[in-house]
A = this chain, B = another copy of it.
Amino acid sequence: MGSTWGNRLKISVFGESHGPAIGVVIDGLPSGVAIDEAKIVKELQRRAPGTQSGSTTRTEPDLPTVLSGLYNGKTTGTPLAIEILNTNTHSSDYDGFTVTPRPGHADYTARLRYKMNNDPRGGGHFSGRLTAPILFAGAVAKQVLKAKCGTEVYGHIIRIGKVSATSWEEEEMPVIPTESAFAQENTSIAARMKDEIEAAKLDNDSVGGIVEVMATGFPGGIGSPMWDTVESSFAQLMFGVPAVKGVSFGSGFEVASRRGSQNNDHLMFKDGKLRMTTNHGGGFEGGISNGMPVLAQVAFKPTPSIGKEQDTVNLDTKENEKIQIHGRHDACIVPRALPVAEGCLALALLDAYLGRGE
């Protein structure tokens, strides 16, 4: 509900882009799990502006301060809360957007919803900056999953504009990704993806993309039909990010074009271990994990803030107007969104895992 999500694990996200601070309260964590804060900061840096191709030049350290829930470096089991101070804010960049709403942003809908009472500076609570606390929660979930059941979560970009990379679903054994968001960093695909972003930037434009996230080592038998499933939870989480327009699992929308004989994942004992011959289902049947890698895709729209002149309206004069958006914006948010998607998968997996007991 609202900015609160979860079942066993609950996260409550707060903050506006240009207010005093953003943050998150994570409730329901198991106790006694050692948390490596440096590792979390590293995850936050993957999302931080300026560290990825095509990102805004607004540079923020995004250093989280732990307010509660860690004691002697371990989770206490009671709520873990953090805040990230907002420091490098240029509020004047955003003046007037409640009157002449930016296309593709929540300026107009927020006005309908909150009757001009929401904080409009920097997009307020709708800002992409709010994915930082979500990512923090996800980074904690990653560490807890690793400690509790050996599960690891990865991700890579499989599309930027017109350039696509191969889904891990196709591979017998996926290549463990490097630190880069571009899975095949040293290949021509990565280079072409970066070119796609660079070209959009030069055009005062932006470009969208698709990320793919995967979890290995997640135990089978987790989840409950109908709606207590990783699929439902992950989709719910991801659609909380305004730029997300599609979520899929395994072969995703491709399944629609297939015959059952092509699409069914067959069961097989191989070296005494049960597995599926393919992973078109993305790790689930009937909402319950089957022990295969969990695999999901998330489509992100191009950043709506672009330098080009666009059509909009003036809500005061009721007349059509032109708008040109200045300021610091990403030509492509997909590289920065990747760790967020990984974190959301970790949150969905951990929430399901904590419900495994009977």
Contact = CB atoms under 8 A, between A and B. Distances in A.
Contacts of A320: 268-269
Interface in A193-226: 200, 203, 205-210, 220-226
A252 B298 CA distance: 10
B257 A226 contact: no
A136 interface: no
Max count, chain B CB within 10 A of own CB: residue among A14, A80, A251, A308: A14
Interface residues of A, number: 154
A109 B354 contact: no
Contact of A253 (B119, B260, B262, B299): B299
Given A23-B67, A76-B117, A225-B2, A103 B267 contact: yes
A308 B258 contact: no
B28 A78 contact: no
A8 B4 CA distance: 11
A237 interface: yes
18 contacts: A1-B27, A2-B28, A3-B78, A16-B69, A32-B115, A103-B267, A104-B281, A109-B288, A112-B220, A205-B260, A210-B253, A226-B241, A231-B239, A246-B252, A256-B301, A266-B312, A281-B301, A357-B357
Contacts of A2: 10, 27-28, 78-79, 224-228
A182 interface: no
A349 to B, nearest CB: 15
Interface stretch (A36-44, A123-131, A171-179, A183-191): A123-131
B125 A288 contact: no
Contacts of A152: none
Contacts of A112: 220-221, 288, 290-291
B311 A22 contact: no
Interface in A1-49: 1-5, 7-8, 10, 12-16, 19-23, 25, 27-28, 30-32
A210 B210 CA distance: 19
A302 interface: yes
A221 B109 contact: yes
